[in-house]
DNA sequence: CAATAATAGAGAAAATTATTTACATACGGA
DNA sequence: TCCGTATGTAAATAATTTTCTCTATTATTG
């Protein structure tokens, strides 16, 4: 378990001396990470053994181990631990958002199964036509992104956020086509229905969703993205970043499989944009 | 400067012993971070002083400092350092994408100016109506996201990716309204024109774009996002993640300013979704 | 309501371990 | 051959951990 989480758990049970050490941790994280045990003890006005005991209490093997674990915290946002309501300044919120985004990417990386990704990319690269489905602000954006990334590779792809349209497109799809559906919660029953319909018609389905959810079960290939949204209703974003990163990974894997074809198309698109809009070749593709 | 970057720079000039240490770093990062100098030296078949010298060469004050810096590395993906062309397997590409995303978030955090963010949030929170503009796959997505995030706070907001429509909307906008325009390259001349028109009409303009670019200059408030796209034409994504994180930060700051109003609206939207679609309250807002 | 035992907390000093410095040697190239 | 770099050995230093001890607090008992 992560060290600052443990500290949070112990919070009430700390002795006065230990509390002083914890205070320094929160108020001057940088110092704590770089200081030696003597410095830290001095500043907390405790003895070095107390610091060692503190580290042990938090599940570290030694003080050095403690420092390494501290430094490894996904992000230096120590304030992240304190009650949410305290994060008010722009600097605080920035730190908080970035910290959560980093953590989301980190956990995405750990959870992804390369074999599943390869399989998905194989299907996408070989598809005759690709349909990207997703509804609601978040998944609709993801579906749009899938289209945005894949058409650049020279693939035929469309996207829809409209349930009725999704069903019609599914009905129109043919064997050899691929449907990619995204649902953060995994409980989008309309998407489940589309997947079931697709299966009857031999259209391959790929889900980007919560592991074990109805949507995951209905798809022929499910890529699990399991990230807690946290309880702050204002802040549902980090999961979206993870989804975007996932799409990027899939697009890259697909690109590897289409290399020649894709570079050609991309170059044409790029030349078009460049000559049309800006003589400077540094123009970024797509804006 | 970041330690792995320095290592990359020194890469060619390392002596055989130092190279062995570097190899261990790449092949077993976890071990390197947790090992003592003796363990690390033993495994690299060098003497402890050589390890110290290696650390010094990389700009660290001591071996412990070296370990702390290693542990602080935004992402443990050591392969990130190795030449791009090696990334072929799903695991490689995943690591590569995630590492870049992490690096983008990291550099975004360092570059953002809290004062500018506060000023932008003040304007957004006080706006009568908000227009989000952006064209091309990437910025269009960003504009959509701005709408997606802000309407949840009870703000009046619309977005458009269509240049002609953008100009018409700008003409229709009134003092007290705010236009937020996104352009990754900063060279979207149509957006510049819209900003100029807005200024004449006393409509406040905020740009999310490259510092010092034409778009930045045309806006009344510019939030700089300066991230190199890198030279891999298949991989323009990490910048988008940074933009999304930025929008999240802005939305959060705005939410702080609208707290009561926003929580009410959000709760209504959420209740609506939950009762409509899924009895389970874990349903994520917006998908 | 003392008096005493038991226990947890904390530091001093010793012991251990890790790290650095200083010095010596070997090797490769000018 | 000579110089400089690379590396190791051993001594010195610094840091960390352990052990031991003291103190303060709380619980228990007469």
Burial label, A200 (beta-carbon count in 10 A; 0-12, 13-18, 19+): exposed
Instruction: Please give the nucleotide, over all strands, whose C1' is closest to the CA of residue B19.
Output: D6
- Count the Cβ atoms, other than its own, within 10 Å of residue B280: 9
| Average pLDDT per block of 10 residues along chain A, 287 residues long | 71 78 80 85 86 86 86 54 53 75 77 91 94 89 91 91 93 94 90 94 94 93 77 59 90 80 58 45 43
| Separation between Cα atoms, residue B48 and residue B58, nearest integer Å | 16
- Count the Cβ atoms, other than its own, within 10 Å of residue B51: 24
Instruction: Please state which CATH number belongs to domain B3-73.
Output: 1.10.10.10
pLDDT value at residue A88:
67
| Separation between Cα atoms, residue B121 and residue A282, nearest integer Å | 31
Which part of chain A is CATH 3.40.50.10490? Answer: 113-273
Q: Domain A3-107 class?
A: mainly alpha
Task: Name the residue in chain A with its Cα closest to that of B152.
Answer: A234
Which part of chain B is CATH 3.40.50.10490? Answer: 112-272
| Average pLDDT per block of 10 residues along chain B, 287 residues long | 69 80 80 86 88 87 87 54 54 76 76 91 94 89 91 91 93 94 90 94 94 93 77 60 90 80 59 45 43
pLDDT value at residue A275:
44
The number of C-alpha atoms within 13 Å of A262 and in the hemisphere containing its C-beta is 20
Contacts of A141 in chain B (CB under 8 A): 141, 144-145, 148
Task: Name the residue in chain B with its Cα closest to that of A183.
Answer: B287
Instruction: Please state which CATH number belongs to domain B112-272.
Output: 3.40.50.10490
Helix ranges, A73-135 (H): 90-111, 114-126
With a 7 Å cutoff on the CB, does B264 touch strand C? no
Taking CA atoms, B15 is separated from A201, B24, B56, B153, B231, in Å, by: 62, 14, 14, 58, 30
Cβ distance B245 to A33 less than 8 Å, yes or no, reads no
pLDDT value at residue A240:
85
Q: How many separate helices (H) and strands (E) can be counted in chain A?
A: 14, 5
Going by C-alpha positions, the residue among A62, A54, A52, A71 that lies closest to residue A2 is A71
**Mean per-residue pLDDT of chain B:** 80
Task: Name the residue in chain A with its Cα closest to that of B119.
Answer: A90
Cβ distance B287 to A188 less than 8 Å, yes or no, reads yes
Strand D contacts (CB < 7 A) among B residues 253-272? none
pLDDT value at residue B126:
92
Cβ distance A249 to B94 less than 8 Å, yes or no, reads yes
Express each pLDDT in B168-188 by its tens digit: 999 999 999 999 999 988 888
Q: Which CATH number fits domain A113-273: 3.90.650.10, 3.40.50.10490, 3.40.50.2300, 1.20.58.1030?
A: 3.40.50.10490
Residue B47 contacts residue B41 (beta carbons within 8 Å): yes
Which part of chain A is CATH 1.10.10.10? Answer: 3-107
Going by C-alpha positions, the residue among A57, A67, A55 that lies closest to residue A31 is A67
pLDDT value at residue A136:
80
Which part of chain B is CATH 1.10.10.10? Answer: 3-73
């Amino acid at each position: 378990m992560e060290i600052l989480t443990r500290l949070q758990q112990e919070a009430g049970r700390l002795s006065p001396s230990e509390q002083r050490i914890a205070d320094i941790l929160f108020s001057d994280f940088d110092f704590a990470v770089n200081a030696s045990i003597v410095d830290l003890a001095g500043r907390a006005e405790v003895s070095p053994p107390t610091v060692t005991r503190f580290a042990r209490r938090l599940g570290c093997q030694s003080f050095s181990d403690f420092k390494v674990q501290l430094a490894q915290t996904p992000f230096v946002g120590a304030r992240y631990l304190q009650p949410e309501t305290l994060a008010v300044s722009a600097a605080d919120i920035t730190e908080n958002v970035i910290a959560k985004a980093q953590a989301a990417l980190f956990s995405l990386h750990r959870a992804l199964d390369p074999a599943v990704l390869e399989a998905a990319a194989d299907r996408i690269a070989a598809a005759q036509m690709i349909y990207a489905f997703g509804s609601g602000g978040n998944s609709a954006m993801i579906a749009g992104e899938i289209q945005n990334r894949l058409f650049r590779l020279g693939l035929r792809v469309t996207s829809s956020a409209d349930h009725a349209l999704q069903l019609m497109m599914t009905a129109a799809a043919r064997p050899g086509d691929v449907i990619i559906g995204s649902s953060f919660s995994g409980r989008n029953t309309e998407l489940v229905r589309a997947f079931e319909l697709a299966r009857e018609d031999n259209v391959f389905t790929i889900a980007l969703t919560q592991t074990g959810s109805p949507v995951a079960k209905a798809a022929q290939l499910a890529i699990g993205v399991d990230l807690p949204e946290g309880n702050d209703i204002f802040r549902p974003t980090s999961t979206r970043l993870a989804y975007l990163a996932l799409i990027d990974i899939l697009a890259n894997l697909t690109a590897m499989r289409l290399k020649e074809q894709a570079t050609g198309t991309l170059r044409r698109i790029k030349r078009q944009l460049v000559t049309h809009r800006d003589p400077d070749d540094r123009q970024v593709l797509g804006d």
